[in-house]
Amino acid sequence: MELTPPSTPSLVIISVYRPDLLEEARHRLRDHDHVEVVLDRRVGERRRPERIETEAARASDRRRELINEQLRTDGFAIVPRGV
């Protein structure tokens, strides 16, 4: 696993299917106070209530899909806090 710590406050999300990466990521990033390593607890998407689609909602959905793809392919995703 090759992790370069980001310089902004970030979350490193580890796939629930790759728990073997969790301790390694925590160890490698332990000196970076602005990074939090967490295990993705989602198992399948929950149904969302019907909502009016806005540009912001569509952007959020695209961002979520990108994160999901990174979790599937790499076993982890690095996202800025607040996203």
> What end-to-end distance do the CA atoms of the chain give, in Å?
23
> What type of residue sits at position 67?
I
Q: pTM for the whole thing?
A: 0.70
Number of domains in the chain: 1
How far is residue 28 from each of residues 1, 64, 81, measured CA to CA in Å? 10, 25, 19
For residue 62, pLDDT over 90 is answered with no
Q: Residue 27: give the domain boundaries.
A: 10-42+53-80
> Does residue 61 or residue 2 have the better pLDDT?
61
> What type of residue sits at position 37?
V
Please check whether residue 14 lies inside any domain of the structure. yes
Instruction: Give the rounded percent of residues in the chain with a pLDDT score beyond 70.
Output: 75
Please check whether residue 57 lies inside any domain of the structure. yes
11, two tokens:
């979350």
For residue 17, pLDDT over 90 is answered with yes
Please check whether residue 48 lies inside any domain of the structure. no
Residue 3: band (very low, low, confident or very high) from pLDDT cuts 50, 70, 90: low
> Does residue 48 or residue 13 have the better pLDDT?
13
